[in-house]
Chain A
Amino acid sequence: MLQYVIRRILIVIPLLLALSVLLFLYVHAVPGDPIAGMLGPNGSPELIAQIRADRGLDRPLLEQYADWLAGLFRGDLGVSLLTGQKITPVVIARIPATVQLTLMSLFFTILIGLPAGFVAGRHRGTWIDKVLSPAALLGLSMPVFWIGTLLILVLAVNLHWLPTGGYIPFTQNPARSLQLTFMPAFALGIHLSPFLARMVRATTIELQQEQFVIQASMKGLLPRTITYRYLLRNAIVPVLVILGLQLGTLLGGQVIIEQLFNWPGIGRLLVEGAIQRDYLVVQSLILVIAAVYVIVNLGVEVLHAWLDPRVRL
């Protein structure tokens, strides 16, 4: 097991380093001058030169990269191109909102996707499967902002049950905070669950053809026992892996949902950075998001290997 973990980590470290090089080069790939591009017509040559010197962009590339990388190890993401302020504190301030939304979204994804996929797979070919499978395809075809817009129109505009958006920290008012998380998280849950459901369905169908399940039913075990003890338990392992991989989709979807619901998270910060053409902020946030995605999947792989020893081979 330890050997497996070390092997995985040895793959992830160069991957993260390569990502840092790629994103470092990103800023230098701006056609023309990034600062002139950001300032637009207001940028006088003196101002541009001053900002460039101030942000350290006039130094040799290798030196800039070494500095940036050293900063990353200390948790320092560098400074904003636009304001010159440190990026790390701004990002940290946004983390609670984003993490809260991510966790709630995963909760809804599992709540919808796991039972739907399992039931469809267990009763394959019956009416319930024939309803759920096209529903999943419809869900896959709906843009996440569209799901969010529909929720706003129904729950906020028509029924006045929930406000259209906004965020209150959980520590400040837990009940109100969860209430505000409901719509954005539910929209993401609807967005992600069809894919999970499809995978769970396929797994469940496959499990039912496995020897140990056939034998269990030949032994005369109750269908209920087979469902819970044999099928559900084994169908849950893949759920973990799929959720890890879906985190990429979730993080992308969150960028959009945070915008729609005025949710002050990392995604909104990224969009603000992109619109203001603050390339250093965009660079740092893409790196943070990709690193989280890679590291979470490393964790998922390790957990999966622990649950299912065959994976380690």
Chain B
Amino acid sequence: MNTNMLDAINAAKPKLRRRITTVPVGGAKAITFQAVVGHRRALLGAILTAIVVLVAVVSIFWTPYDPTAFKTGAPFSPPDLAHPMGTDVYGRDILSRIMAGAQVSLTVAASAVAAAAIAGTVIGLVAGFVGGVLDLLATRIVDIMLAIPGLVFALGIVALLGPSARSVTVALAIVYTWQFARIVRSVVISVRSRSYVEAARGLDVGPLTIMGKDIFPSVLPILIVQVTTALAWGILDEASLGFLGLGVQPPNPSWGSLLIEGRQYLYDAPWLALGAGSVVVVAVLGVNFLGDGLREIVDPRSGRKN
């Protein structure tokens, strides 16, 4: 769903002759702890994200009820003290299921983004640094992959692999890789002719060392921003695929699978869909706040305009 957003910004920029670029003029600023704490939106985002991660971690050791146990209360009981988020058709506790679901959803999103970030960085670094035919080929492949709307692409891959948490992870990793490749490549292109890179080349430093020691540090801040943005997509897309019945399958809780259960009982128990949906919104909002803040820290020029 949001997969094409950043793509849109990037693609629109040269066309709109914008001065806000993905590659900040004069290089990206470093992301430091002080910078995050000092930036209101980044801090709020970091706190929200930390809470969601904490809930997921806690759920490994403790949930109010067993998330898959039946009849922890009356079926379809609306939210009350014993069940703060109500129960579902089998009397399972929704809060426990959402907590356990956080674990699955965050793992899927984080693994997919990590894999995509690594693969995309390698492609982007090599393509941008080596240049020539290799770069042309990589750019064309990226163009082809980005021509398929993200969710549609992911849906096709999940259909291929069969619905499961692992398929969703693989599908999202494949879909997100190209975005990373494109962004990393653009940063590499912008720094590869800088004097310090030229100097390293002149000193006969090996290409791998130049990529790792001279170029990658310039890529890193922008990569971190992109990872944050992609995490927000990851959570949304996992939930979306789950909602379509193509994600993690019930009865295993994930935010996606909880939403599809909620959709079946929209009339009898609206709190099912509302609860799981609200949690997704809070998690994504937190990550988006963080990503937005980090983008402004990395490129203060964008902050003045956004």
Number of residues on chain A facing chain B (CB within 8 A): 67
Q: Which B residues are in CB contact (< 8 Å) with A274?
A: 155-156, 158-159, 244, 246
**Contact A22–B1 (Cβ < 8 Å):** no
A144, CB-defined interface residue at 8 Å = yes
**Contact A270–B8 (Cβ < 8 Å):** no
A78, chain B: closest CB distance, angstroms: 16
A122, CB-defined interface residue at 8 Å = no
> Given A26-B160, A252-B149, A282-B156, A157–B263 Cβ distance below 8 Å?
no
Interface of B is mostly: helix
**Contact B243–A256 (Cβ < 8 Å):** yes
Q: Which B residues are in CB contact (< 8 Å) with A190?
A: none
Q: Which A residues are in CB contact (< 8 Å) with B1?
A: 143-144, 191, 249, 252-253, 256
**Contact A249–B155 (Cβ < 8 Å):** no
> Given A140-B288, A256-B240, A275-B246, A19–B144 Cβ distance below 8 Å?
yes
A289, CB-defined interface residue at 8 Å = yes
Which residues of chain A (132-183) have a CB below 8 Å from chain B?
133, 137-138, 140-146, 149-150, 152-153, 157, 164
Q: Which residue of B lies closest to A259 (CB)?
A: B244
A270-313 Cβ-contact flags toward B at 8 Å (1 or 0) = 11011101010011001001100110000001001000001100
Interface range for B: 35 or more
**Contact B4–A310 (Cβ < 8 Å):** no
**Contact A238–B155 (Cβ < 8 Å):** no
Q: Which A residues are in CB contact (< 8 Å) with B194?
A: none
**Contact B147–A270 (Cβ < 8 Å):** no
**Contact B5–A137 (Cβ < 8 Å):** no
Q: Which 10 residue pairs across A and B have the least CB separation, nearest first? A: A252-B151, A274-B159, A245-B8, A141-B285, A248-B4, A248-B149, A141-B284, A146-B277, A252-B149, A290-B148
A205, CB-defined interface residue at 8 Å = yes
**Contact B284–A241 (Cβ < 8 Å):** no
Q: Which A residues are in CB contact (< 8 Å) with B289?
A: 137
Stretch of A83-91, A97-105, A196-204 with 4 or more beta carbons under 8 angstroms from chain B:
A196-204
Q: Which B residues are in CB contact (< 8 Å) with A41?
A: none
Q: CA of A133 to CA of B296 in the docked complex: distance in angstroms? A: 15
Contact of B149 among A150, A251, A277 (CB under 8 A): A251
Which residues of chain B (203-257) have a CB below 8 Å from chain A?
232, 236, 239-240, 243-246
Contact of B240 among A15, A138, A143, A206 (CB under 8 A): A143
7 A-B pairs with C-beta separation under 8 A: A26-B160, A144-B240, A153-B270, A270-B152, A274-B244, A293-B147, A294-B147
Contact of A275 among B4, B245, B285 (CB under 8 A): B245
A80, CB-defined interface residue at 8 Å = no
B3, CB-defined interface residue at 8 Å = yes
A277, chain B: closest CB distance, angstroms: 6
> Given A26-B156, A249-B2, A271-B246, A137–B285 Cβ distance below 8 Å?
yes
B54, CB-defined interface residue at 8 Å = no
Q: CA of A138 to CA of B150 in the docked complex: distance in angstroms? A: 21
A30, CB-defined interface residue at 8 Å = yes
A60, CB-defined interface residue at 8 Å = no
A293, chain B: closest CB distance, angstroms: 6
> Given A26-B160, A146-B280, A149-B273, A195–B152 Cβ distance below 8 Å?
no
Q: CA of A289 to CA of B4 in the docked complex: distance in angstroms? A: 14
Q: CA of A43 to CA of B265 in the docked complex: distance in angstroms? A: 34
A246, CB-defined interface residue at 8 Å = yes
**Contact A289–B270 (Cβ < 8 Å):** no
Contact of A206 among B18, B160, B284 (CB under 8 A): B18
Q: Which residue of A lies closest to B288 (CB)?
A: A141
Q: CA of A237 to CA of B45 in the docked complex: distance in angstroms? A: 33
